[in-house]
Structure 1
Amino acid sequence: MRASRLVSLLLLLQTKGRMTAQALADELEVSVRTIYRDVESLHAAGVPLYGDAGPSGGYQLLDGYRTRLTGLTEQEAESLFLAGLPGPAADLGLGDAVSAAQLKLMAALPSPMRDRASRMATRFHLDAPAWYYDPERSPLLGLVADAVWRERLLEVSYRRWRSPEDVTRVLRPLGLVLKAGRWYLVAQGSSRISTYRVAQIQTAAVLEESFTRPEGFDLAAHWAESLEDFQSRQYTGEAVIRLSERGWESFASHVLPVVAKAAEESVVDDGGGFRVTIPIESLGHATGMLLRLGGEVEVLHPAELREQVTAAVRRLASIYLG
C-alpha cells in the first residue's frame, strides 16, 4: 500500500508540478505527517525532490526529472481500454489519436498484461446514448471543442425553447459534457455560467480574442451542481400513488431515475399494493407519465391530478368504446 502511494505521490508531482503537503495529503487521502514521511523516503531513494517554505511554497521535482515508472497494475491497464469511448472521441476528432494511444499502450505492456487488456477490449463495450434515442448530430462540435481547448471567445447563434427563440451570444467556452448521447457546452456569458445544447447552435465562429478561465472552476463539480439545481426546479410538486405488484415491478422502467429513487425511498406495502410518494413536474406531465402504467396505478393525491387522470381515461374510453 505504501509503495503504491509513493508512486502516486511521485506521479502527482510529475504531472501537476509544485504541490503543497496539504494538497498532496488531500489527493492521497492521508495526513500531512504521512506526506512528510513519504517525502523523506523519496529523498532517501535518490529522487531529486525539494521543498520551498512559505505561502507559495510546496514540493517540486527537479526541472527535467521524469520517472520511468508507469505504476500500472493489471487492473489499471485493463481499465484504460474502457476509458476512451470511441464514438465521442471520434465526434471530437480524436478517434485516430485514441486508437494510436491504445496501440502504443498495448505494445508497451508486458505480455501477461497485454493479453488481459486485449480480452477486456474485446469483451466489454460502452454505449453512451440512452435507449430509444439516436446520438445527436452536432456538426459544429469540432469548432466548439477547438474554442474550448484554445480558450478563445466563441460567437454563436443559438436556438432556445423560449422567446425570443434565436439569440446571438459571445461566450467564454469552459468545457464540453456528453450526457446520454447529447453534447452540452458549459460557457460563461456576460455574467453567469450557463449550459448550451451543442445541437441547438445554429452558427458559430471562434474569435481571435482569448479569455481567462474563472479561478478554481471545476467542470465536473459544476455539472453535478447544475443537475441538482435543474431537478430541484423541475419537480415542483408531489403525488401519492398506489401501484399493483406488477406496476411496482415495472415502475422504474417507465420513469426517470430521480422519480424511481423517490419511490424506492418512500414505498409502503399497504396490503392492496405499494403506496409511494413521487416528485412531479406538473399535472399534465404527471398525467402522461402515469397513464403509461395503465390499470396498474391509482392516484391518491392530489385531487387535481386524480381528476386529470380520470378525465384522460374517460376520453380514451369514449374513443375506443364509443
Structure 2
Amino acid sequence: MRADRLVSLVLLLRRHGRMTADALARELEVSTRTVLRDIEALSAAGVPVYAERGRHGGFALLPGFQTELTGLNHDEALAVLTAGSALGEQVFGLGSALASAMRKVVDALPEDHRATASDAARRFLVDPETDLLARRRVVDDIPGATMVEVRRAVLTGHKLRIHYAASDQAPRWRTVDPIGLVTVRDRGYLLAARAGEDRTYRLSRVLAAEALPEAAERPHRVDLDRIWRERSARFLSDGDHMAVRVRVDPARREELLDTALAVRAEEPEADGWLRLEVTFQDARHAEWALWQLGTEAEALAPRSLRAALHRRATTVAARYGAPPSA
C-alpha cells in the first residue's frame, strides 16, 4: 500500500508541478505527517523532491525528472477517464484506488496528449446523479470498512462473516463462502454459498463484515455472468412475483423499466406504443408502478391488476368530481 502511495505522490507532483503537504494529504487521503514521511522516503530513495519555502511554496520535483510507466494511446486513456468520471468511485468501495489509477492514466500519456485527453473526458458525462426530470439516482450506501472486508474475502478466497439484515428478518450473523461481487443499476450484490446452498446478498444490507482466516469452499474458476443469469432466472420464477402484460407510450418506457424487476418480452404495436411483459415484486408493487404512468400505460393482464387500477381511478374521479370540502 505504501509503495503505491509513493508512486501516486510522485505522479501528483509531476502533474501539478508544486503542491503543499496539506494538498497532497487531501489527494492521498492520509495525514500531513504521513506525507512528510513519504517525502523523506522518496528523497532517501534518490527521487529528487525538494521543498520551496514561502507563501506559495510546497514540494516539487527537479525539472526533467521522469518515472517509467507503461504508455497508453489517446483513445485508451479517454476510455478509462470517461468510465471513471461517473459514479465509479462508489463501486465496491474502490474510490481511493480509482483516484490513484486516474492519476497514473493521465501521467502515462505522452505530454502533448495529456491536456486533450483530459478535456475530451470532460465532454462525456456517464450516468449523472439526476435525469432530465431532476429525479435523483438512488445509490446503495455501503460503509467503507464493511466493503473492505467483503472485498478482501472475495479476492483472497477466505470465508466471510457478515451481519446481514434481510428485508423480512432481524439482523443476524452468517458465515458464507464468497464467490464474487456484482453491481446492477447502482446496487451491489455479494454472490456466495452458505452450507452449500447458493445465496445472494444485497451489499447495502450488510451491516458489518469480517474476513475469516479459513479458506472458502468455492470453485477456483468462476463465470460470474453465467451465475448471475442463473440466479436471476430462479429469482424471477419465484411464485410470489407478478408477471404483467402492459402497453406503454415509448416516452415512458424507461420509467416503467426503472420500477420493474425484469423484462421478459417486448414488441412494438401498430400505433407506436410498446407491448411488454414485465415482472414486479407483487400485486401492490405492480399497481403502484403503473399508477405512476397515468394514461400513458395500460395494464392488459392479469385481470386482478386491471380491476385494482379501475377501483383506484374510480375513487379518485369521484373525489375530484365533487366540490371541494370546506
**TM-score bracket for the superposition, by shorter chain length:** 0.5 to 0.7
Closer, same or farther in 2 for the Cα pair 1:126/1:83, shift >3 Å?
same
Find the aligned partners of 1:238 and 1:87 in 2 and give their Cα distance.
32
Q: How big is the alpha-carbon RMSD for the aligned residues of Structure 1 and Structure 2?
A: 3.5
1:185-220 deviations in Å (ceiling 9; x for gaps): 111211123211122123322222122531321223
SS at match of 1:268: coil
Name the amino acid aligned to 1:317: A
Counterpart of 2:9 in structure 1 is none
Give, in whole Å, the separation in 2 of the partners of 1:296 and 1:288: 14
| 1:19-38 to 2 correspondences below 5 Å | none
CA distance change for structure 1 residues 218 and 307 in 2, over 3 Å: closer, same or farther? same
1:302-317 counterparts in 2 under 5 A? Answer: 302-317=302-317
Cα separation, partners in 2 of 1:116 and 1:226, compared to 1, 3 Å? farther
Deviation digits for residues 36-95 of structure 1, max 9, x if unmatched?
Answer: xxxxxxxxxxxxxxxxxxxxxxxxxxxxxxxx9968543223212234467544665543
Taking the TM superposition and a 5 Å limit, the aligned residue runs for 1:113-152 are: 113-127=113-127, 131-139=135-143, 140-152=146-158
Distance 1:88 1:185, change over 3 A: farther
Identify the residue that residue 295 of structure 1 maps to in structure 2: 295
Counterpart position of 2:320: 320
CA 199–284 in structure 1, closer or farther in 2 if over 3 Å, else same: closer
Q: 1:267 maps to what in 2?
A: 269
Where does 1:221-300 land on structure 2 (aligned, <5 Å)?
Answer: 221-233=226-238, 236-239=242-245, 241=247, 248-256=249-257, 264-269=266-271, 274=273, 276-281=275-280, 282-300=282-300
1: CA distance, partners of 2:82 / 2:220: 31
User: Among 153, 178, 185, which residue is 1:173 paired with?
Assistant: 178
Q: Distance in 2 between matches of 1:129 and 1:149?
A: 30
Hey, what's the Cα distance between the residues in 2 that align with 1:274 and 1:307? 22
Mean alpha-carbon deviation: is it higher for 107-116 or for 256-265? 256-265
Q: Residue 300 of structure 1: CA displacement?
A: 4.7
2:219 pairs with one of 214, 219, 222: 214
When residues 94 and 300 of structure 1 are mapped into structure 2, their CA distance, relative to the original with a 3 A threshold, is closer
Partner AA of 1:148 in structure 2:
V
Which shows bigger deviation, 166-175 or 80-89? 80-89
| Displacement after TM superposition at 1:227 (Å) | 3.4
How far does residue 148 in structure 1 lie from its aligned partner after superposition?
1.9
Distance 1:260 1:146, change over 3 A: closer
Which residue identity does 2:103 align to in structure 1? L
Indicate conservation of the 8 Å contact 2:140/2:204, yes or no.
Answer: yes
Q: Is the 8 A contact 1:78 1:116 kept in 2?
A: no
Q: Which segments of 5 or more consecutive residues in structure 1 lack a partner in the other structure?
A: 1-67
In 2, Cα distance between equivalents of 1:225 and 1:275: 27
TM-score by length of 2: 0.62
Which SS does the other structure have where 2:141 is aligned? coil
Q: Is the 8 A contact 2:74 2:109 kept in 1?
A: no
Match of 2:200 in 1: 195
Q: How many residues align?
A: 246
The 5-angstrom pairing of residues 3-22 of structure 1 reads: none
Q: How big is each residue's C-alpha offset from its partner over 1:118-154, in whole Å with a ceiling of 9 and x where there is no partner?
A: 2233222434768533322211222222222222211
Tell me if the contact between 2:163 and 2:206 (Cα under 8 Å) persists in the aligned partners.
Answer: yes
Q: CA 1:88/1:153 → structure 2, altered by over 3 Å: closer, same or farther? A: farther
TM-score by length of 1: 0.62
Q: Could you say which residue in structure 2 is the equivalent of 1:109?
A: 109
2-structure distance, mates of 1:275, 1:72: 44
- CA distance change for structure 1 residues 275 and 302 in 2, over 3 Å: closer, same or farther? farther
CA separation of 1:182/1:95 partners in 2, compared to 1, >3 Å: closer, same or farther?
Answer: same
Matched to 1:155, the amino acid is R
Q: What is the rounded CA distance, in whole Å, between the counterparts of 2:221 and 2:128 in structure 1? A: 29
Query: Is the 8 Å Cα contact of residues 86 and 128 (structure 2) preserved in structure 1?
Result: no
- Residue 80 of structure 1 aligns with which residue? 80
1:155 aligns with 2:155: no
